[in-house]
Structures are given as structure tokens and as C-alpha cells.
Amino acid sequence: MRMNKGHEGQEITKMCKWMASVGLIVGTALFLLSFIASAYNRDFFLTIVSLGIIGASMVMFGFGLFMGLLMETYRCNSTENV
């Protein structure tokens, strides 16, 4: 994937949004499955794993949004000073 020099921050934000969406879908599916599959969920293993996936997806989205905004701000400030 080749990034355009002027839109690096938007590309990073879009990629992190896509990855976080997939993680949220997988985590939600596992969370709902943990209520149905009680034989596999004796020690609430599926519930803990699904909540971990959902939490990691939210942290990754926040970090990606921060990095995208940081790159956009840095690009805007570096072109103004030249």
C-alpha cells in the first residue's frame, strides 16, 4: 500500500478504523457466543477473551486516531514554517 504524501494521516486513520471495526465485530460475536456455548465457557474464558478483543480494538482505534491527527497537524505546521 503506497501512501500519498499529503494524506498519510487519513490513510492511517482509515486503516485503524477498519482494523478496529473487524476487532469489534469478532469480539461482539464471541461475547454473544459465550452466552450460548456454556459447555466451552465454564470459567468465563470466552467472555474474558471477547472483552479483551473489544478493549484492544478500542485502544487501537484511539491510538490510530491520535497518530493520524498528529501526522496531519505536523504536516500542516511544517508547511506553514517553510
The pTM assigned to this predicted structure is 0.75
CB of 63 within 8 A of CB of 23?
no
The pLDDT tens digits of the residues spanning 15-35 come to: 889 999 999 999 999 998 888
CB burial of 13-48 (b: ≥16 within 10 Å; e: otherwise) equals beebeeebeebbeebeebbeebeeeeeebeeeebee
- What is the pLDDT, as a whole number, of residue 5? 62
Distance CA 26, CA 52 (A): 11
Q: In this predicted model, which residue has the larger pLDDT, 50 or 5?
A: 50
